[in-house]
Amino acid sequence: MTTTATEAAAPVQRVRPVGPPRLSHFSHVHLNTPDLEASVDFFVNVLGLYETERDEKNVYLRCWGEWAHHSVILSQAAQPGLVRAGFLVEHPSHLKGYAEQLRKDGIEVTEVSAGEVRGQGDSIRFKGVGGQEYELATKIDRISRPANHSRVMDRPLPYPGNSGATPRRLHHINILVPSVAETRQWAQDALGMKNTLVVRGADGFEPICTLTSTVDLHEIAVSFDPFSSEGRLHHIALWYDGMGDIVSAAEILAEHGVKAEAGLGKHGGGENWFYYVREPGGNRIELYTGGYQVLDLDPTIPDVTVWDLDQADDALVWIGQPMSPNFLTDGTPHVEHAPQDEPDAEHLTRIM
């Protein structure tokens, strides 16, 4: 794929196609880790996720507020990174519609039968233009009501209280791609997602955008990868009820020797609070709270927040310390490169 820092400006649209097929929501993420047991220990005993079950290849995890069999899957591999990002479709019949549409666009689609992945219904897998693999599924099994269930009937488990580091649910994924504009347009055209925010230069260069299939600001964030690599992950985000929960989680993480890679801070774009750490396998995790919802006051009129490129530093960090250039470009798998291959000053100044 040819990468250029200067991309032709494309119309910014947030309106998705009318009628099926449609996505329901971002439901799960599958990660590779070079140290599976260390990563599982971190997610379960430090972050406070629950292990639903495991098989010979995968460990299936969920957050305390989730009824789904899993929202995070971990697998052993030589390098950390994204295996695939998963969405549920609005209706089982929509899976066939997506498969037909993607194949018509020349995209190879793999069909996966119910039960091949523990706790999942029929699904399809395919790669997007940025090289990441996606999975659309008809359903994820609902767990039985636990014996120690919450007295609040829509919670599977009691509020974790002083345990501190436990997130309520999976929130979003951030991917690194050679062309943000191309990935944005593909996600709108092929998946019917809404573009809600974009950072854009006068010449059309887009270093960051956000996409969603719900009223949340984003389920996928897309970031520019200056190394022209494909399929890389920047981070996954876990949702916390409030900033106090993130502060408590930071205390728990610090007691385990885990310090922030960035944060505590607040993004201007999205207006959410963040705290970024690395799990033992090397994948970046964002502790996330706040932000706003995007409601269609008039679905016939495109409505997207556009930040100018010279406002990018405020879009990235509104409150808190500036992020390092390495933070913006380093993802998993890590890209080995010689000093002369470092992102040049133009790339960095265009992003920050």
Tens-place pLDDT, residues 324-346: 888 988 999 998 765 445 554 45
pLDDT of residue 340: 47
Which of 162, 80, 74, 182 is CA-nearest to residue 118?
Answer: 74
pLDDT at 146: 81
Q: What is the predicted pLDDT for the residue at 160? A: 81
pLDDT for the residue 149:
84
The Cα–Cα gap between 63 and 243 comes to 18
Q: Is 159 helix (H, G, I), strand (E, B) or coil?
A: coil
The pLDDT, as a whole number, for residue 6 is 39
Residues 207-211: contacts with CB within 8 Å, 24+ apart?
207/180, 207/309, 207/312, 207/350, 207/351, 208/180, 208/269, 208/312, 208/315, 208/316, 208/351, 209/180, 209/181, 209/183, 209/184, 210/269, 210/270, 211/184, 211/187
- Total residue count of the chain as it appears in this document: 352
Encode 185-218: b = buried (16+ Cβ within 10 Å), e = exposed: bbbbebbbbbbbbbbbbeeebbbbbbbbbeebbb
DSSP secondary structure letter of residue 91? S
User: 255: which residues sit within 8 A by CB, 6+ positions away?
Assistant: none
Q: How far is residue 49 from each of residues 61, 65, 192, 198, measured CA to CA in Å?
A: 6, 10, 31, 32
Secondary element (H or E) of residue 184: helix 180-191
Q: What pLDDT score does 228 carry?
A: 82
HSE, CB side, 13 Å, CA atoms: give it for residue 213.
Answer: 26
pLDDT, averaged in runs of 10, over the chain (352 residues): 40 54 97 98 95 96 96 98 98 96 97 96 98 98 87 84 78 97 96 95 94 95 92 97 93 95 96 98 98 81 85 94 89 76 53 52
| CA–centroid distance for 119 within its chain | 21
Residue 210 one-letter amino acid: T
CA pair distance 102, 191, nearest whole angstrom: 9
Tokens 């897998």 belong to 125
User: How far is C-alpha 341 from the geometric centre of its chain's CA atoms?
Assistant: 27
Say what the pTM is: 0.91
Pairing label, strands 220-224, 208-212: antiparallel
Q: Are strands 232-239 and 262-266 parallel, antiparallel or unpaired?
A: unpaired
d(CA 244, CA 257): 20
SS3 of residue 60 by DSSP: strand
> DSSP string spanning 297-341?
SSTTS---EEEEGGGHHHHH-SBSPPPPHHHHH--BSPPP--GGG
Question: Residue 113 is encoded by which pair of tokens?
Answer: 């039968």
